[in-house]
A = this chain, B = another copy of it.
Amino acid sequence: MTRPSPDAAAFTALQAKLLALLGPKGVISEPAELAPYLLESRGLHRGSTPFMALPASVEEVAETLRLAAEAGIAVVPQGGNTGRVSGALVLPEHGAILVNLKRLKQIRAVDPIDNAMTVEAGCILAEVQAAAAQADRLFPLSLGAEGSCQIGGNLASNAGGIHVLRYGNIRDLVLGLEVVLPNGEIWDGLSTLRKDNTGYDLKQLFIGAEGTLGIITAATLKLFPRPRESVSLFIALADLEAGLELLSAAQDATGGGLCACELIPGIALDFTLRHIPGSIDPLEKRYDWHLLMEATSGQAGSGLREALESVLEEAFTRGRVPDAAIAASEAQAKAFWHLREALVEAQIREGASIKHDISVPVSKVPSFLRQAAEAVEALQPGIRPYPFGHLGDGNIHYNLSQPPGMAPEAFLARAPEIQSKVHDIAVALGGSISAEHGIGLVKLAENARFKSAVEQDLMRRVKDAIDPAGLMNPGKLVSKL
């Protein structure tokens, strides 16, 4: 990236051109109006830029990028700004404007026969789910921010969430893409085809590229049959290995019927029961580890519940599951999931925390949790591991609460050393330092520590081939590679 820094006059000239192109709704420069788009989602960092463009169609996005490229001004694409790694943050040194996609919010087509829908980048994930449901289909991506994140951001960051076990990450849910390239050209790769073997799979390059190769303006998404039956189970585990056994046995008995398998540690239940009003432990005693499982079937009367009851009985008999509850109603299932969703908020009430988004092979989750617990206790005695998340796909949010009574700032100062150690352990087990949140700005240095030189070089070559001027989301993902 040897791009010269654009001067203030260049920004002013571009702003005038974009105002003429997009109209007054299409350019925001008023500091108060701009402020929420400049603040990173956890409120940790605040960016700065002269203005933000809000094109309302793919043609307007294309013309915006063409004009920006002409001016030598870089572009930071932004969706719902709910990301966890500052991927949509624009800093002064980026010499960039924000381009927000929220006005591209058309659902262009829903086709239940082809099991496909085409949506624009600015559609809220929950709206996409609802449009699919209205056509009696399922769009399975589901995550905490679904009420405000946008599908374009989900695509750019390859969003994961709680249903990856069954349906994969969003990259597995895409049939086609429409992308505006850094020079303002439009690549129309939209398609409802299930089979098309006529060249390189370009769409997967843009998915998960965090806006460093172009701006995704629309996507054709896969739809699935809607569940007709659903069973939620809250299960106490004899130990961590019992979690793996249960996962395998339940998948076996239901033919891969699990759509979620979440790990909930005793400490997270303790915090939640203490801090979140209305929380109820589904079981009578306290246990160190639990699984929250959900299985679904698209076939009514499939015997799903009976199959899972047999699995539990067998595990109970062998002493691997001391207790368990099967939701008897939709309300009870919701109460189980309320506990899972309250974990994050509950941890905040217990003071400062240091977070991770690691993954390891599913079989290695118990080893990881034991090694990491030992290592972080050695680095910071009294630290309270609070690991929760997606056991079914090996993605654990390895959060750590401060020792009681320690000054939060002193604890947070330990973050780099602790994170580095946790990442070492995950990678040594064949794992990843970022399972679903991406790299953005926050994990650049750590990523560079682990990526092989060969892979860094390949990524750099792809970046230079598609964005030779380095105008797309500078300073992110591939910046230090």
- Among B168, B430, B461, contact of A466 (Cβ-Cβ < 8 Å): B461
Interface on chain A toward B: helix, strand, loop, or mixed SS? Answer: loop
| Residues 148-177 of chain A, each 1 if its beta carbon lies under 8 Å from chain B, else 0 | 000000000110100011001101100000
Tell me, rounded to whole Å, the shortest Cβ–Cβ distance linking A101 to chain B. 20
Contacts known (A244-B113, A362-B114, A452-B188); A393 close to B194, Cβ less than 8 A: yes
A221-240 contacts to B (CB < 8 Å) = 224-225, 227-228
A373-419 contacts to B (CB < 8 Å) = 390, 393-395
A241–B184 CA distance with the chains assembled, in angstroms:
42
A421-447 contacts to B (CB < 8 Å) = 430-439, 443, 447
- Among B160, B192, B451, contact of A430 (Cβ-Cβ < 8 Å): B192
**Cβ B204 vs Cβ A201 within 8 A:** yes
A197 within 8 A of B: yes
CB nearest neighbor in B for A228: B255
The interface residues of chain B lying within 8 Å CB-to-CB of A248 are 112-113
A304 within 8 A of B: yes
A43 within 8 A of B: no
Q: Which of A74-82, A295-303, A325-333 contacts B (4 or more CB under 8 A)?
A: A295-303
A282-335 contacts to B (CB < 8 Å) = 297-299, 301-304, 307
Contacts known (A201-B207, A225-B256, A462-B465); A187 close to B454, Cβ less than 8 A: yes
**Cβ B202 vs Cβ A459 within 8 A:** yes
**Cβ A256 vs Cβ B224 within 8 A:** yes
A251 within 8 A of B: yes
Question: So how many copies of this chain end up in the complex?
Answer: 2
- Among B194, B297, B455, B465, contact of A461 (Cβ-Cβ < 8 Å): B465
Contacts known (A255-B225, A255-B228); A433 close to B198, Cβ less than 8 A: yes
A185–B456 CA distance with the chains assembled, in angstroms:
13
Contacts known (A191-B430, A205-B205, A363-B111); A455 close to B199, Cβ less than 8 A: yes
A254 within 8 A of B: yes
Tell me, rounded to whole Å, the shortest Cβ–Cβ distance linking A358 to chain B. 10
**Cβ A439 vs Cβ B197 within 8 A:** yes
**Cβ B225 vs Cβ A359 within 8 A:** no
A280 within 8 A of B: no
A24-67 contacts to B (CB < 8 Å) = none
A351 within 8 A of B: no
The interface residues of chain B lying within 8 Å CB-to-CB of A443 are 198
**Cβ B158 vs Cβ A434 within 8 A:** no
Contacts known (A160-B195, A195-B394, A302-B299); A455 close to B227, Cβ less than 8 A: no
The interface residues of chain B lying within 8 Å CB-to-CB of A438 are 197-198
The interface residues of chain B lying within 8 Å CB-to-CB of A362 are 113-115, 194
Q: How many residues of A contact B (CB 8 A)?
A: 96
- Among B160, B251, B307, contact of A225 (Cβ-Cβ < 8 Å): B251
- Among B116, B198, B252, B454, contact of A181 (Cβ-Cβ < 8 Å): B454
> Which of A115, A437, A464: most chain B CB closer than 10 A?
A115
The interface residues of chain B lying within 8 Å CB-to-CB of A181 are 454, 458
A111-138 contacts to B (CB < 8 Å) = 111-116
A208–B196 CA distance with the chains assembled, in angstroms:
10
CB nearest neighbor in B for A357: B197
Tell me, rounded to whole Å, the shortest Cβ–Cβ distance linking A1 to chain B. 16
Tell me, rounded to whole Å, the shortest Cβ–Cβ distance linking A117 to chain B. 12
**Cβ A455 vs Cβ B160 within 8 A:** no
The interface residues of chain B lying within 8 Å CB-to-CB of A447 are 198-199
**Cβ A302 vs Cβ B363 within 8 A:** no
List 15 interface pairs A-B (beta carbons < 8 Å), by A numbering: A158-B201, A169-B195, A181-B458, A187-B454, A193-B361, A193-B435, A196-B359, A196-B434, A198-B438, A199-B478, A255-B297, A255-B298, A257-B298, A299-B302, A301-B303
**Which A residues have a C-beta under 8 Å from some C-beta of B?**
111-116, 157-158, 160, 164-165, 168-169, 171-172, 181, 185-189, 191-202, 204-205, 207-209, 213, 224-225, 227-228, 244, 248, 251-257, 297-299, 301-304, 307, 359-363, 390, 393-395, 430-439, 443, 447, 450-452, 454-455, 458-459, 461-462, 464-466, 477-478, 481
